[in-house]
Amino acid sequence: MTQIFAHRGYSASYAENTMTAFMEAEKAGADGLELDVQLTKDGEVVVIHDEKVDRTTSGNGYVKDFLFKELRKLNANKKGLKKEPIPSLREVLEWLQTNRMICNIELKNGLFPYEGMEEKVIRLVRSYKLEKRIVISSFNHYSIVYSYRLAPEIETAPLFYEGIYMPWVYADSIRAKGIHPKFSLISDEVIKSTLENGIAVRPYTVNKDTDMQRFFKIGCTAFITDDPVKAIKIRKKFEKRP
């Protein structure tokens, strides 16, 4: 059964990367979450997509220039009625103790290197004993390799914007157990060969019915979507098929 990962939580209906978006994804029945992490000035791992707080919160400036306690005063639900803080990764991992969800932590260390980010994330994951339910991904493949060296028991998956040749060979070479390709840039044949070679495939970000159907039909490991409710409805139709 193809798993459904809620991209930045249930972000089609709730403010992205907030506890509400994660909790609503779980209520909807998503198998997993995808979230993005950055580091504050005082080294707290926080869950926010952009390097800057401007787009998604009431504040402005770089995450890396805020102390955690100052960052927490910002509202990450600026279009909604209820004020919500930017979550810390610790808060999300603590909540994951109450359910069985898988959590894909995307390290957003492409622009700023955020020295020590991998160690901090891994320390947190280990402290909550969540090693088996975490997938670490990143567009920064050096960071993927470094994460694997630090914690070979935690699954890693490189993210791709581009189609690459024989991605299973590449994944194997960096000891990654999965790949997270841009959904429109990977063919059915390449997905099938990757799966046959024992590498998980979780394309992002799949929001249209026809694209969801495509990945259920292929039997992809998972896909990452803003709308887990829609994905679950479509999956139910596939499960009913003889």
Helix H or strand E encompassing 200: strand 200-201
Is residue 16 involved in binding Ca ion (CB under 5 A)? no
Residue 124 in tokens? 């947190």
Residue 91 in tokens? 């808060």
Identify whether the C-beta of residue 130 lies closer than 8 Å to the C-beta of residue 96. Answer: yes
118 binds, among Ca ion, ligand G3P, none (CB under 5 to 8 A by kind): none
Is residue 66 involved in binding ligand G3P (CB under 6 A)? no
In this structure, are strands 134-138 and 155-160 parallel, antiparallel, or unpaired? parallel
Q: Is 141 an annotated catalytic residue?
A: no
Using the minimum distance from each CB to ligand G3P, give the nearer residue, 55 or 73: 55
The residue whose Cβ lies closest to Ca ion is 106
Which is nearest to 46 in space by CA: 12, 76, 25?
Answer: 76
HSE-up of 105 (CA within 13 Å, CB side)? 32
221 binds, among ligand G3P, Ca ion, none (CB under 5 to 8 A by kind): none
Is residue 106 involved in binding Ca ion (CB under 5 A)? yes
Please, what is the minimum distance in Å from the beta carbon of residue 13 to Ca ion? 18
Please, what is the minimum distance in Å from the beta carbon of residue 141 to ligand G3P? 14
Identify the DSSP state of 180: E
Residue 238 in tokens? 């596939």
Amino acid letter, 94: E
204 binds, among Ca ion, ligand G3P, none (CB under 5 to 8 A by kind): ligand G3P
| Total residues at interface with Ca ion (CB under 5 A) | 2
Please, what is the minimum distance in Å from the beta carbon of residue 180 to Ca ion? 9
Helix H or strand E encompassing 136: strand 134-138
Q: Of residues 4, 7, 71, 88, which has the active-site annotation?
A: 7
Considering only 31, 34, 155, 227, the residue that binds ligand G3P (CB under 6 A) is 34
Q: Is 49 an annotated catalytic residue?
A: yes
| Close Cβ partners of 189 (under 8 Å, ≥ 6 residues apart) | none
Binders in 86-125 for ligand G3P, by CB under 6 A = 106
The catalytic site residues sit at 7, 49
